[in-house]
Amino acid sequence: MRYRQIEAFRYVMVTGTTTGAAETMAITQPAVSRLVKDLEAGLGFKLFDRFKGRLLPTADAIRFYQGVEQFYMGLDRLERMADQIRTQKPADLKVCATPALSTYVFPDAVRRFKEIYPAVDLLIEGFSSSEIVTRLQTRLTDLAITLAFPEVAGIVQEPLMEAAHVCAVHETHPLAKKDVVTPEDFVGEEVLSILPSGLVNWNRIASILTKAGVEYESGTGIQNSHTGYSLVAANLAIALIEPFAAPTWLKNGVVTRPFEPKVSFSYVIAHAHTQQQTEPLKAFTQIVRDVCRQRREAQDRI
């Protein structure tokens, strides 16, 4: 397996044709075809089905391509790091969070951080909690904001905040008129279910309604809060859901109400045990804490 073969495979996947790959690589189309065939021979499995002159990626090719892209992302990071060392530019700060937390925390946090460290580039990514743990273990991120998860060797979790799920309904829904929503209010309603997500246990949400003997419909499952709020905005269901994505949807017909009894979850700032605590990283961590505290205080005053 040679680099040029991997490169040819990648460009065929990106452009969709051997002709496009050849143009990108500045070689002939037959040369690209030969490189791909040699790669297939070396790997021992087929990468493309050939149909009417076109190459159609196999399931194995799609799986292999994921690894190839990770390889190229690693090369990009090395080139970026080399440039930073050469020009004496500060290292990037890589941070990640679940999608809902990302939209809740990062706009204010990034603005404040950039006022202090304008020369430090922030690389922000959104992942599920289980993906975040993997990125922390493999040192692909410097800092993560996520739901608390079971203890994992090599990862430090620092408490950030507690947050209770809210009841989200369309503004025309009868529950929008209530000050506080209880399990009995869910009787006969279409309630979004939250699908299992790696290390996160959402069972407490469903068990609250089950223990109350509430009969309700649950024909739609979600994993992402923004997806849930979008369905509520379309008046397709109601939800017992985390509050972080709510501000984005409050201008789109969504209303949130407190739910009793409270269903609270813990959120943390996490980093690898061996992570070097640079001044920019320590500053960003404190800024995140300040943003979360101030936003929660503002919501408590409403």
Dist. CA 120–CA 92, nearest whole Å: 6
DSSP H or E run through 156: strand 155-164
Quote the pLDDT of residue 210: 87
pLDDT digits (tens, 9 = 90+) for 200-218: 667 778 888 888 898 999 8
pLDDT digits (tens, 9 = 90+) for 100-155: 999 999 999 999 999 999 989 898 998 888 889 988 988 889 999 999 988 888 99
The torsion angle over the Cα atoms of residues 222, 226, 228 and 233, rounded to 10 degrees, is: -160
The residue type of 215 is E
Q: CATH 1.10.10.10: which residues of the chain? A: 3-85
Sorted by sequence, the CB contacts under 8 Å of residue 252 that are 6+ apart come out as: 233
Q: What is the mean pLDDT of residues 16-21?
A: 87
Residue 197 pairs in a beta bridge with: 200
Superfamily name with CATH number, domain 166-262: Periplasmic binding protein-like II (3.40.190.10)
Burial of 67 (0-12, 13-18, 19+ CB in 10 A): exposed
Q: CATH 3.40.190.10: which residues of the chain? A: 90-161+266-301, 166-262
* Cα 46 off chain centre by: 32
Q: What is the mean pLDDT of residues 42-52?
A: 85
Class assignment of domain 3-85? mainly alpha
Quote the pLDDT of residue 59: 87
pLDDT averaged over the chain?
Answer: 88
Nearest to 95 by CA among 29, 146, 152: 146
Residue 198 has pLDDT above 90, yes or no: no
| CATH level 3 topology of 90-161+266-301 | D-Maltodextrin-Binding Protein; domain 2 (3.40.190)
pTM above the 0.75 mark? no
DSSP-derived letter for residue 175 is: G
Tell me how far apart the 2 most distant CA atoms of the chain are, in Å: 70
